Amino acid sequence: MSTDLKNRIDTLYFTVSTAGHVDHGKTSLLRGLTGTDPDRLKEEKARQMTTDLGFAHLRLSAETVKKSRPQVDTDIVVSFVDVPGHGKFLKNMLAGVGGLDMALLVVAADEGPMPQTEQHAKILSALGISRVLLVITKCDMASPAQLSDAIAGSKELLQRVDLTLVDVAEVSNVTKDGFPALIEKLVNALVDAGERESARLNAPPFLPIDRVFSIVGYGVVVTGTLVKGAIAQGDNLLIEPGNIKARVRGLETFNTSVASATAGQRLAINFSLKEGKALARGQVVVGEQCSPTSTLIVELGQPGVKLEDNFQQHVLGQPARIYHGTAECQGAVRWMEDLPADANGKKSFIAQITLFDPLIAEPGDRFVLRYGDEGLAGGRILITARPRWITRERLVSLAKLLAANDKKSAALEFLKANPQGLLPDSAFALLLPPLSLPVVISELIGAEKLTRVSSFVLSPETRKNLFDRLVVEVEKAAQPTNDSSSDVRNTQEALRNKVLAGLDRTAFQEIVKDAIEKKLIIRQAEKLLPAKVELLQAPDDVRLLSEKVLSILKEHVCLEVEELAKQTGSDKKKVQAALQLLSKEGTASVVAHDFASTTESIDAAHKQLSKIFREKKDIAPGDFREAVGTSRKYAMALLAYFDDRAITRRMNNGRVLLKYPKDEL
């Protein structure tokens, strides 16, 4: 962690969960660390057993942190999630371990690892929460031999289920022996976990809901851990699934009101809901609309090296429960394909899970799957939907690349599988995590393996094919025919549908522009025509003059033909010939007989007309002149041009817009 951390952030926020067997002292440990009783339900206090999620927090001042790490000059706030240890309440334990930085695995010295200890450890492993601080409690009640056996057994368990032991702390919840050392080890472990990447802090907010309740006079309140982004009072957010609009009325973190919060903080959010729909655990607070999914392509396995006997038979087609974030839903594994065993001999599969209830999921998310009475599996989500245009064979190939973390090859394979060969960036969200998607696409474009046309991503080969197809279709459309529709075959809209109907108008115009610049086609009003040899073989003096004229026009919104003649030192007739050539090439046009403008200036003026009309429902010459930044003479010439082409129509003292720019349709 950087030594200038204080200059960038005042407080570091972490979320840590307890895990372990019932009655091994998880709740007492947190009470001793934080001074807060995480048991909030009457039933829990009566039974002395955590049945639902409990929460507590520990604020460590910069002075305390510096005792362990002198180079870190910032406060640390640790939000603890106390989860149930009894098997009956396992689903609540699963809901509490999403978005964690680390876990405290609590083991009693006098008993050592027990059945729920192992079950919780497997869940942590399945969810990818690999960093574990082992806390041995009840050290005052155990003999040295029992303590040694408890530590050894716990280490063996962690190794067996692929969890990383970051440190061991020995404490007594009664005498508080070992607590100072535990805090020091906790600080070291969290600092070593590293600072949250800026991309996660700057991402749209994402908060899985783990509790919903109402307060008289305030309304609905939800709680959860802010996994990504920031939330502030007054923000307008969404709750998914459900597309429920909500405004933030108030924010609290551990009974303290705050104006805003950032990733890593434990929050209670008071919402003003725009609809009367009920909220529930498992929904997600998000900053932008996202689509729920009912199909997941996953990497599925069991924590530890060896799969149980007949694992596939027990899982395939059988009812199962999927735990993801704070959501719990029913589903079934539809099919499985073997993956090569890893270096430790661990076996896993590519599988499709069909959910009976939709949930919000992202590629890279971890999940747990429970089947039968005690069966436990889990893994990583690779793809969050199954596009109809991808065959199962190709889907498996794609998933194997993602399982090997080869995101770039997976993105290229995904694009290649698309029948049209081009996709918007948003389509890659099915297989690339939100934080890595723009990075992967940018690197592939930088390596010239992908290119961009407007909002679409495609391969250089596909772009060339589109270009070649456009030129061919323009030439076909120009051929003589007896068909009564021949007059519309070479319009830009007809040609766009011929070349690729899925290409939006803005992207199509980029391809058209390339073809015009290469002198292969010309634009005449709404039509595209082949660039006739005789048109392109203009006299050298006219071609040279056209280049000078275009260069001058690019510096002006509009200019008189006579002024162009004066500035080029040529006569008016030659300038008109040069403008005719530029018009055929689609780069400039004569405006109102005696004026000229570049195609770019005309398009920009058209957009200003649209903007004025959308705002005022009337286009006054003065408003248009001010918008395009020119004199009244040139503004009126351009307006006459738009009137002649039925783009505008004069009405009283102003105008109405009849045709919007193509990229606004």
Over the stretch 373-420, which tens digit does the pLDDT of each residue have?
778 888 899 999 999 899 999 999 999 999 999 999 999 999 999 988
Residue 488 has phi, psi (to 5 degrees) of -105, -5
The 3-state DSSP class for residue 34 equals helix
Asked if 23 contacts 167 with a C-beta cutoff of 8 angstroms, the reply is: no
Q: Classify residue 593 by burial, with Cβ atoms within 10 Å: 0-12, 13-18, 19+.
A: exposed
Q: Which residues contact 665 (CB under 8 A, 6 or more apart)?
A: 505
- SS3 annotation, 476-501: HHCCCCCCHHHHCCCEHHHHHHHHHC
The pLDDT of residue 532 is 66
Alpha-carbon span 470 to 403, nearest angstrom = 39
The pLDDT of residue 299 is 93
Q: Which residues contact 292 (CB under 8 A, 6 or more apart)?
A: 240, 241, 358, 359, 360
77-106 pLDDT, tens digit per residue, is: 888 877 654 444 345 444 444 557 788 999
Alpha-carbon span 623 to 156, nearest angstrom = 78
The 3-state DSSP class for residue 356 equals strand
Tell me the pLDDT of the chain averaged across its residues: 84
**Of 3 and 152, the one with more pLDDT:** 152
Q: Which residue has the tokens 């061991």?
A: 168
Asked if 137 contacts 109 with a C-beta cutoff of 8 angstroms, the reply is: yes
Q: Is the pLDDT of residue 517 over 50?
A: yes
The pLDDT of residue 565 is 95
Alpha-carbon span 18 to 83, nearest angstrom = 6
What secondary structure letter does DSSP report for 406? -
262-319 pLDDT, tens digit per residue, is: 888 888 899 998 777 889 988 999 998 888 999 999 999 887 656 777 788 888 888 8
CA distances from 572 to 22, 538, 551, 563, 590 (A): 95, 17, 17, 9, 13
Calculate helix-pair angle for 115-126, 144-160, nearest 10 degrees.
30
The 3-state DSSP class for residue 258 equals strand
Q: Which residue has the tokens 């030659």?
A: 574
The pLDDT of residue 42 is 38
